[in-house]
Structure formats: structure tokens, C-alpha cells
Amino acid sequence: MIAVDTNLLVYAHREESDWHQEALSLLKQLAEGTSRWAIPWPCVHEFLSVVTHPSVYTPPTPMAVALDAMQVWLGSPSCRALAESSDYFATLKNLALQAKIRGPRIHDARIAAICLENGVAELWSADRDLGRFRQLKVVNPLVRKRGGGE
């Protein structure tokens, strides 16, 4: 199963993003395909926070529009929203200690732990910081699409 990180959701949603077309195409392929894919709940929340924030985007996406966009993705028959499992804390603790996580990086560890606990084979992300979690395969599909550069 492939999971999608916040940045790809934002790029697919915001037309002014340099990666808009590539990210939108990737999400469309996932949403219209038959293979299981997922969005971790923390990425849903972060997407809503980022695209509606007036200090990040001018104009920001209205909340109703952002919620509708997320509802479309989550409504894909092959999409699953991922949450913490009963073993989540042990996985989070292991990741945080192994990667020597501090401060706001715990958010990345949370996403990685949720993915690992839910059997994610690959997390699609343009965030290089997620690479610190060796147990999780993190791939930037945008680099593949354009042939190398970020």
C-alpha cells in the first residue's frame, strides 16, 4: 500500500505550486486505480492547516473548499485513512529514539509510525526529513516524474 504525505496533497490542490500538475496526476492515478492507497490522518489535518492559512497562501483556500478536496480523495474506493493502532506508541518510541528525534520532528515520526503500523509499503513524500526513518521506504514520486530534480 502507498501512503501520501501532506506536501503532495498540497501540491495537487494549489494550482500555483511548481509541482501542481505532477502531484495532481499522481493523486488522480491513485484515486482512480484499484490498488490500495492511504492518507494518514495527521496529513489530513496538516493539509487543512496549510492550505487555509493566510500566512502561507494569499488567498488561502476557503475551509469548505479544502474539506471538499479532502473528501474527494478520501472518498476514493481504494483510499484508506490511517490512524494510530494499539501498538502505535511502541513504534513511535522506537523511531524517535533511533532517529534521535527532538521538537517538531516528532510529527514526522508520528506519520512514519502510523504508516509502519498500518503496513504501508511506500510513503510518497517530497520531505527529505522522513528519510531518517530507515524502517519506512520513502519515495519522492515527483523526482521520478520530472527525471531527477526537485
Where do the structural domains in the chain lie, given as residue ranges?
2-146
With beta carbons less than 8 A apart as the criterion, state whether 19 and 11 touch. Answer: yes
**Could you report the per-residue pLDDT of 111-149, keeping only the tens digit for each?**
999 999 999 999 999 998 898 999 999 999 998 655 554
Find where cell 524517535 sits.
96
Q: Torsions phi, psi of 125, nearest 5?
A: -155, 150
Q: Which CATH class is domain 2-146?
A: alpha beta
Say whether 123 sits in a helix, a strand or coil. Answer: strand
Separation of alpha carbons 76 and 88, rounded Å: 26
Please write the tens of the pLDDT for every residue from 81-94. 999 999 999 999 99
pLDDT of residue 93: 96
pTM value is 0.91
Kindly state the percentage of the chain with pLDDT values over 70: 95
Is the separation of the CB atoms in 113 and 91 below 8 Å?
A: yes
Find out whether 37 and 1 touch, Cβ atoms under 8 Å: yes
